[in-house]
Amino acid sequence: MNLEILLPILLPLIVGLAVGIVKPSYDKRNKIIIATTMINFFLVLYILIFKTNKILHLIKINEFLDLYLYPDKTGIIFAILVSSLWIFTTFYSIDYMGEKNNLSKFFMFFLITEGITLGIAFSGNLITLYLFYELLTLSTFPLVIEKGSELALNAGKKYLIYSFCGATMVLFGVILLFSQTQNLSFIPGGIVGSLVYGNKDIFLMVYLLLFLGFGVKAALVPFHSWLPSAMVAPTPVSSLLHAVAVVKSGIFALGRMTYYVLGWKVIEFTEGNKYTLVLVLLTILMGSFLAMHQENLKRRLAYSTISQLGYIMLALVIFDSSSYVGGMLHMLFHATIKITLFFCVGAIMHYENKTELHEIAGIGKKMPKTMISFTVASICLIGIPPTNGFVSKWFLAIGGLEQGSYLVPIILLLSAFFTAGYLIPVISTAFFKGNPAQEVEISEPNNFMLVPIILLASINVILGFFPNAIIDTIQLAADKLF
């Protein structure tokens, strides 16, 4: 029995519930949480080495409701990304949330979310994915409304409604799909195959429903409004949810749907990707353009996330091996970059209580290491070589050109220009504005916050200089699909 596959999912769930019920003291709780996330990471590595491509059946009620876990290469890459970034966020949130006593509920849902995200990563078929997807909404909702203020409650309500509407569309699509194929498992190349000939419209319907439904979680325009509103959550939640757990789960589910369930040849036959390409390009442009208008730093980064997710979705609507490599690379690189940016902004919010752009003038002299990491991460995001953002952008643009579309590189570069437009003012205000002759003493954040920030920033630069290992791995996966 491959019961070990269930372990990385169950361990955080159980420990989370225990933390929530027992409510240990501050020190004990920290130790338990750090230990759990680290053990989880090693469990995922264990599954990588020993248990790839092994099935674990959970429950089978009938042909439709057949839940099983099946970690394959894509899923394990996602799981490694999730579990490693969870460790950084744990350290960060221990310092950020402070020593308040009623935080057990927060950390309970924090750990439960990790388990559920890993469940999404390891799902073997579409119905299991849907189950964990719904559970993800439920388990992240208390994290969003953690502050308890009126604004937070409204944001949470909006988040719930958007997610459940999306999930409804997904369910409808799943039912339609099952009615045609009697099968919902993930197979490279898709399970539809030749069924599409003659039923083009139904499969177009299925594709659009599933794309829009999963797209809600992945912040596709026009279903993106929950993301800027959800920024009322505390920063560890915003950074993790909006860089790793929720939005990347949406993208991951979209990837599964495109390449493993429907298959790209089917989608190309039904010409559904032309409609979704329009939405994706609109997402890219709108996100980066409107980010320039936001004064609140976290909202700025939220719109930036919307735009960057559009980049990854380009991999899913342009069927070319270069853009697939670019999209997968961007999924990994964007997670680390965005987490760094959010951590820096969160450190400013926590230690200086400054949330708007005009308030942080001259803060680079007070928190130099934090703001230098922010600068490094912004340069990675804009896509300046030799950083990792350039590598993924290169592959995406080349893929677009190979498919004969000049619009894709133009929009990518336009969006990169806007990215510079909303990130460079932040850097410039932080370092070069404010009273230059004033002597300020350096008060950096605590080590629990500072070390993750610096580590993540350096990982970004290192990945930019030596990305070849990762590129080769993903290229292998791409060759199998195309």
Partner 1 sequence: MDRLLLFILLFPTITTAISFFIGKNHETARNAINILSTFINLVVVIYLYKYIKTGTLSFQISYVMGTGLNLKLDAFRYVFVLITSFIWFIVNIYSSQYLFNYIHRNRYHFFFMVTYISTLGIFISENIINLFTFFEIMSFSSYPLIIHDEDDEAHAAGWTYMSMAVAGGMILLMGIFILYSYTQVLNITQISYILPKLGSIKYVISGLLIIGFGIKAGLVPFHIWLPKAHPAAPTPASAILSGILVKTGIFGILITVIFLMNFDTYLSFAMLIFGFINIFTGGILALYPINIKKTLAYSTMSQMGYLFLGIGLIGLLKDHGYLAVYGTMFHIFNHAIFKVMLFMGVGIIYMITHELDINKLYGFGRFKPILKITFFIGFCAIIGLPGFNGYLSKTLIHHSLSEYLHHFSDFTRITVEILFTLGSSITTAYLLKLYISLFVEDNSRYYASYRKHINKRALFPMVISSFIIIYVGINPSIFQNYFFNIYDIFYIGNESIHQIHFYTFGNLLSSFSTIALGIVIYIKYVLPKLRMKKEGHLDYVDKTSNWVSLENNIYIPVSRILFNSSTFILKIFDNLFLKTAYFVSHSIKYASNVEFQSYVNPLDKLESVSHNLYETFKEKNENKKSNKGKSIKSNFEEKILNNKKKDHYNFQELEDKIKDYKIKSKENIKSNINKTVETSKSLKAKKDAAKKLKDNNNYTTIKKDFEETKYKMNSITYSIYIIGFVIVVVLLALIIFNS
Binding-site size for partner 1 (CB under 8 A) equals 62
∠ CA(51), CA(129), CA(84), 5° rounding? 55
**Of the candidates 470, 296, 288, 445, the residue with the CA atom closest to the CA atom of residue 378:** 288
Site for partner 1 in 18-47 (CB under 8 A): none
What is the closest distance, in whole angstroms, from the C-beta atom of residue 92 to partner 1 in the complex?
A: 27
Which lies closer to partner 1 via its Cβ, residue 58 or residue 195?
A: 195
Integer Cα distance of 272 and 183 in angstroms: 21
Q: Write the binding mask 396 to 425 for partner 1: x where contact by CB under 8 A, - elsewhere.
A: -xx--xx---x--xx--xx-xx--xx--x-
Site for partner 1 in 236-295 (CB under 8 A): 282, 285-286, 289-290, 293, 295
What is the closest distance, in whole angstroms, from the C-beta atom of residue 410 to partner 1 in the complex?
A: 7
Identity (one letter) of the amino acid at 141? F
Which lies closer to partner 1 via its Cβ, residue 94 or residue 204?
A: 204
Q: Which of 65, 151, 278, 440 binds partner 1 (CB under 8 A)?
A: 151
> Near partner 1 by CB under 8 A, which window of 75-83, 145-153, 262-270, 308-316?
145-153
Q: Write the binding mask 154 to 173 for partner 1: x where contact by CB under 8 A, - elsewhere.
A: x--x---x--xx--xx--x-
Which lies closer to partner 1 via its Cβ, residue 268 or residue 295?
A: 295
Which lies closer to partner 1 via its Cβ, residue 71 or residue 383?
A: 383
Which lies closer to partner 1 via its Cβ, residue 56 or residue 232?
A: 232
Q: Are 353 and 390 in contact (CB under 8 A)?
A: no
**Of the candidates 86, 65, 246, the residue with the CA atom closest to the CA atom of residue 160:** 246
Integer Cα distance of 341 and 453 in angstroms: 9
**Greatest distance between any 2 Cα atoms in the chain:** 74
Direct distance between the N- and C-terminal alpha carbons of the chain, in angstroms, rounded to an integer:
33
Which lies closer to partner 1 via its Cβ, residue 25 or residue 403?
A: 403
**Three-class secondary structure of residue 236 per DSSP:** helix
Q: Are 158 and 226 in contact (CB under 8 A)?
A: yes
Q: Write the binding mask 420 to 449 for partner 1: x where contact by CB under 8 A, - elsewhere.
A: xx--x---x--xxx--xx------------
The answer for residues whose C-beta is within 8 angstroms of residue 378's C-beta and 6 or more apart is 341, 423, 424, 426, 427
Q: Is 377 in the site for partner 1 (CB under 8 A)?
A: no
| Sign of the C-alpha dihedral computed for residues 463, 466, 470 and 476 taken in this order | positive
Site for partner 1 in 185-204 (CB under 8 A): 201-202, 204
Q: Are 71 and 47 in contact (CB under 8 A)?
A: yes
**Of the candidates 114, 163, 46, 88, the residue with the CA atom closest to the CA atom of residue 335:** 88
**Of the candidates 338, 337, 351, 435, the residue with the CA atom closest to the CA atom of residue 388:** 337
**Three-class secondary structure of residue 221 per DSSP:** coil
> Near partner 1 by CB under 8 A, which window of 28-36, 148-156, 246-254, 451-459?
148-156
- Where along the sequence are the contacts to partner 1 (CB under 8 A)? 149-151, 154, 157, 161, 164-165, 168-169, 172, 201-202, 204-205, 209, 221-225, 282, 285-286, 289-290, 293, 295, 379, 382, 384-386, 390-391, 394, 397-398, 401-402, 406, 409-410, 413-414, 416-417, 420-421, 424, 428, 431-433, 436-437, 464-468, 471
